[in-house]
Amino acid sequence: MINIPKSEKKRVVIAGCGFAGLTLARKLKNTGFQVVILDKHNYHQFPPLFYQVASAGLEADSILFPLRKIFQHYKDYYIRKTEVKAIESDKNQLVTSAGTIDYDFLVLSYGATNSYFGSREMEQNSKGMKTIAEVLDLRNSLLMNFENALISQNEEEKEKNLNIVIIGGGPSGVEIAGALAEMNKYILPKDYPELKNNKAKIYLIEATDRVLNMMSEKSSEKAKKFLEKLNVNVMTNTMATGCNEKCVQLSTGNKICTSLIIWTAGIKGNNVDGLKPECFTKSNRIIVDRFNKVKGYDNIFALGDIAFMTEDKYPKGHPQVAPVAIQQARLLSRNFKSQHLNKPLKEFKYKDMGTLATVGKNLAVVELPYIHFQGIFGWFVWMFIHLMSIVGVKNRLMIFINWAWKYFTYDQSTRLILRPKGHV
């Protein structure tokens, strides 16, 4: 049993402290609940900027913030670094790697992971971007490939080390493609002058007919033009049908020799045992009602990427983005308070605040509810929104300085290869 002091207050256990878990925990301050936060990390991370860490544009610690520092002055709050294993709903207990814990209300907000659509080859040979560990591994592999290109024994091997294949043309795929293209244009010629005649080739593979297909056709087309301006090979209506450690096979019959495959094509919910099978969708998301209550349970809730909720406007569920998670968490905190005071609960209705994606310096597409725009103004709007979303004044300052330095010098934050002993 995890050692948490007993209290007369109702206990809310929050499993996962991403956007949803963090927002809920903050909103429950001074509301008459005991709050227990469980997470396998001791920090909150900011996934929208993972691609900048992967492309050596930001230090990892600038998008991470210690959980214990956030909740230093919250009374009757407890944080435990542990991993969720199973739910024993008949006992109102959660089983974790550190033991079991009792709950009055359980909130599942542990997020999603990569979905490879059943392809073991892709899972084994590609690099994901869902955790800071994956992102740092990707950065190390990217930089190591540039080093290996210098010592390649033949042109074929050199080309393989310099080819980068990104699978998935959503926001993550587009943003990492743009960041790597800028790195290829401004950084490689300075860091690797011997490769000036053998620059990296970046391929963006998208199965549908356009990139950023959640945005308007105009924004998608603009993003594609931005990418092509940066010399990214955008391949729409193309699927990656297989791969190995040497190449990617395409549905067109062609193949691309590469040492680096970046996977941004799909996500699925993380696993947890104990819930009824009918609670899950095919992509392992947990089915919830309009109050974020898990189907078939009275005191178990799910938020964010892991939750599958339908509305008239979203018959296939909400997009798995931060604003959905934050809005759901805010409403659930209000409903917890209302339930505590025997007041009526309010159903969730997602308010779409818009969609943004950046391709590179002065290149972004922005779709707000009543206006769409692209280019430099969109880029500044994108920067402002992301900067204000970062936890911690120090982190915001660090990121702002990095961005300002990069803007004026065309240089990036760090290009260090950091690997454990035994890895070359």
Compute the distance between CA of residue 44 and CA of residue 283 in angstroms, rounded to an integer. Answer: 25
Q: State which of 310, 340, 370 marks the end of a domain.
A: 340
In a domain, 397, yes or no: no
In a domain, 70, yes or no: yes
The one-digit pLDDT tens for each residue of the chain (424 residues) are 899 999 999 999 999 999 999 999 999 999 999 999 999 999 999 999 999 999 998 999 999 999 999 999 999 999 999 999 999 999 999 999 999 999 999 999 999 999 999 899 999 999 999 999 999 999 999 999 999 999 998 999 999 999 999 999 999 999 999 999 999 999 999 999 998 788 899 999 999 999 999 999 999 999 999 999 999 999 999 999 999 989 999 999 999 999 999 999 989 999 899 999 999 999 999 999 999 999 999 999 999 999 999 999 999 999 999 999 999 999 999 999 999 889 999 999 999 989 999 999 999 999 998 899 999 999 999 999 999 899 888 889 989 988 888 888 878 667 888 777 666 5
Q: What 3-state class would DSSP assign to 20?
A: helix
Task: Say what the alpha-carbon torsion angle 54, 161, 227, 131 is, to the nearest 10 degrees.
Answer: -20
| Domain total in the chain | 2
Compute the distance between CA of residue 333 and CA of residue 119 in angstroms, rounded to an integer. Answer: 39
In a domain, 371, yes or no: no
Whether residues 275 and 259 share a domain: the answer is: no
Q: Which domain holds residue 310?
A: 10-114+267-340
CATH of the domain at 222: 3.50.50.60
DSSP string, 259-310: SEEEE-S-EEEPP-BSS-GGGB-TTSPEEB-TT-BBTT-SSEEE-GGGEE--
In a domain, 290, yes or no: yes
